[in-house]
């Protein structure tokens, strides 16, 4: 979801077909957590909106806690991601 938000912000800076293509890629990235939530049998619309709002509020470690069907802190859950600088 964080990648989707970042790509969508980048797409807003582009014009024409390039902007549309980047925006479509953002939507494809957003589909991944939606599919994961739906396959887990959870309310994907609510989970994804809650996830997006927490990310936009500045919480960088949030993600889908598929054990509880809620938003959780990925560090606390034990889901770790290597941190690499984002290059624009």
**CATH number for position 25:** 1.10.560.10
Structural domain containing residue 30 = 2-77
In a domain, 34, yes or no: yes
Whether the per-residue pLDDT at 82 is higher than 80: the answer is: no
Give the mean pLDDT of 64-88: 78
In a domain, 87, yes or no: no
In a domain, 17, yes or no: yes
Output the six-digit token pair for 35: 């599919």
Residue 62, SS3? strand
Q: Give the list of residues 6+ apart from residue 60 with CB closer than 8 angstroms, or none.
A: 2
Question: What does residue 31 show for φ and ψ, rounded to 5 degrees?
Answer: -65, -30
In a domain, 88, yes or no: no
Q: Is 37 exposed, middle or buried (0-12, 13-18, 19+ CB in 10 A)?
A: buried
Q: What is the pTM of this model?
A: 0.76
Bridge partner residues of 73 (DSSP): 62
Give the mean pLDDT of 64-77: 90
In a domain, 85, yes or no: no
Per the structure, the count of domains in the chain is: 1
Output the six-digit token pair for 36: 């994961």
Q: 20-61 pLDDT, tens per residue?
A: 999 999 999 999 999 999 999 999 999 999 999 999 999 888
């Amino acid at each position: 979801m964080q990648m989707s938000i970042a790509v969508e912000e980048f797409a807003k800076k582009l014009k024409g077909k390039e902007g549309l293509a980047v925006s479509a890629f953002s939507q494809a990235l957003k589909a991944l957590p939606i599919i994961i939530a739906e396959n887990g049998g959870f309310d994907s619309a609510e989970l994804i909106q809650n996830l997006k709002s927490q990310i936009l509020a500045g919480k960088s470690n949030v993600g889908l806690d598929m054990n509880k069907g809620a938003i959780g802190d990925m560090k606390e859950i034990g889901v770790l991601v290597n941190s690499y600088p984002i290059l624009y």
